[in-house]
Amino acid sequence: MKDGELITQLSIFVNNEPGSLASIALVLKECDINLKAFNIAESAGFGVLRAIADDPRKACASLRGRSIAVKPTKVIAVHVEDQPGGLFGIARILGEAKINIEYAYAYAGKKGPVIFVRVDEPEAALAAIRAAGMKVLGEKDL
């Protein structure tokens, strides 16, 4: 794979109690880290804040330095059309290629909507997305 094809996402573990998210957000603020996109999923007793940061290495180091559990993972960022069916397009392409979408979330990017997808076969997903004529974005594109 070429550099920039996969986006570094931070999976940050958040206790499911008042003030936990604020304490994580404060660390990011104090370290001058901007989140480009994020999603919070809850589970029993904790949540997972999945975030795209402007400087993922610095964000990861800053959070770990404050004893906050964080794990960098890779996702694919795909530009989609801002119209009904944008989600369908990427879901259909990956489904037809027999690639499982583990999770996805979206944001309204500088250049239009972007869907972030975590898949079980990233290389095959990148090939299928490109073969369908969709644009994969790198971290600098966000």
pLDDT, residue 129, reads 95
Share of the chain above pLDDT 70, in %: 97
Residue 110 has pLDDT above 90, yes or no: no
Domains and CATH numbers, the chain: 7-73 (3.30.2130.10), 75-141 (3.30.70.260)
pLDDT in tens, 39-69: 998 877 789 999 999 999 999 999 999 999 9
Which one has a higher pLDDT value, 83 or 128? Answer: 128
CB-based contact 74:122 (threshold 8 Å): yes
pLDDT, residue 17, reads 87
pLDDT, residue 42, reads 81
pLDDT, residue 65, reads 93
Give the separation between CA 2 and CA 9, rounded to whole angstroms.
Answer: 17
Question: For every residue of the chain, which 3-state class applies, written as one string?
Answer: CCCCCCEEEEEEEEECCCCHHHHHHHHHHHCCCCEEEEEEEEECCEEEEEEEECCHHHHHHHHHHCCCCEEEEEEEEEECCCCCCHHHHHHHHHHHCCCCEEEEEEEEECCEEEEEEEECCHHHHHHHHHHCCCCEECHHHC
pLDDT, residue 3, reads 45
Mean pLDDT of the chain: 91
